[in-house]
Amino acid sequence: EAGVVQSPRYKIIEKKQPVAFWCNPISGHNTLYWYLQNLGQGPELLIRYENEEAVDDSQLPKDRFSAERLKGVDSTLKIQPAELGDSAVYLCASSSTSGRQYFGPGTRLTVT
Amino acid sequence: GDSVTQMEGPVTLSEEACLTINCTYTATGYPSLFWYVQYPGEGLQLLLKATKADDKGSNKGFEATYRKETTSFHLEKGSVQVSDSAVYFCALIYSGGGADGLTFGKGTHLIIQP
């Protein structure tokens, strides 16, 4: 069974540019999560989806961050415009009704 | 809010040494507790879990016991190997449904020398 797929794995952009990350969860997993992992820190939840509905986006900085999961399968996280402090690893995870979360390899963003 | 505190790293040990990585938590209810491991260049993987007080999670020679009285979930292994070198994260979910977001500690980098 394929795991959680994320792309790109690495992204380097200049500040003020837009950037988007893509995540394809494990087939059949209705719950999808986006986490932010700063260097030397543990992941922090940004947003959680149940199917196509965002059920917890309280930690998502809505002035510059947006996310969507239009058909309840894959998801996109966007930053516009990016700031230097957005340099981090963006993790996607998915889970089924069991609740166990499976993580993708992450996208490492560097903003210069 | 809920939080997880784990010992600072890096932790450097020789092969076959005993390992303990401390983890304590604060939560307003009865969370499920987890240890995740992140090997170099790979994604986070669940190592073990415990869902209620006095439960012991175990996997790959690692163990951790859910201690409600001390709000702790320390990770232990009797004899570490070079292949155990990784970053270890303690985490909790405060939800009966288990579908909420995880709250992680900052991670402990473990380095095992041959």
Listed in order, strand segments (DSSP E) in A1-112 are 5-7, 10-13, 19-24, 31-37, 44-50, 53-56, 65-68, 75-79, 88-95, 102-103, 107-111
Given a cut of 60, is residue B98 above it in pLDDT? no
Do the Cβ atoms of B44 and A56 come within 8 Å? no
**Nearest C-alpha in B relative to A4:** B43
Binned at pLDDT 50, 70 and 90, residue B42 comes out as confident
Task: Give the closest-approach CA distance of B95 to chain A in angstroms.
Answer: 10
Mean pLDDT along residues A21-33:
95
Phi, psi (degrees; rounded to nearest 5) at A89: -105, 130
pLDDT of residue B97: 47
Beta bridge partners of A111: A13
**Phi, psi values for residue B82, rounded to 5°:** -55, -35
Q: What angle do CA B99, B102, B108 make, to 5 degrees?
A: 150
Chain B closest-CA separation from residue A82 CA (Å): 24
CB A45 within 8 A of CB A93: no
pLDDT of residue A80: 97
Question: In a mutagenesis test of the A interface, which of B7, B36, B44, B47 is the best target, namely the one with the most A β-carbons within 10 Å?
Answer: B44
Q: List pLDDT tens digits, range A82-112.
A: 999 999 999 999 998 878 899 999 999 999 9
CB-based contact, A41 to chain B, within 8 Å:
yes
pLDDT score recorded for residue A1: 65
Average pLDDT on A18-46 reads 95
How far away is chain A from the Cα of B76, in angstroms, using its nearest Cα? 20
Q: Which two tokens stand for residue A99?
A: 């609740």
Q: Which residue has the tokens 């009797």?
A: B78
For residue A81, the distance in angstroms to the closest alpha carbon of chain B comes to: 26
pLDDT in tens, B53-92: 999 999 999 999 999 999 999 999 999 999 999 999 999 9
Pick among A103, A107, A108 to test the B interface (most B CBs inside 10 A): A103
Residue listed under structure tokens 């409600």: B68
From the list A45, A99, A103, the residue facing B98 with the nearest CB is A99
Which class for A52: exposed (0-12), middle (13-18), buried (19 or more C-beta within 10 A)?
middle
Give the model confidence (pLDDT) of A51-84 as tens digits: 999 988 888 999 999 999 988 899 999 999 999 9
- Report the alpha-carbon distance of residue A61 to residue A84 in Å, rounded: 15
Q: Do B99 and A50 touch (CB under 8 A)?
A: yes
Closest by CA to B7, choosing from B88, B92, B81, is: B88
- B91's tokens: 């985490």
- pLDDT the model gives residue B29: 79
Task: For residue B101, give the nearest of A48, A104, A105 by CB distance.
Answer: A48
CA distance B87 to A67: 28
Over residues B80-107, mean pLDDT: 86
Quote the pLDDT of residue B95: 63
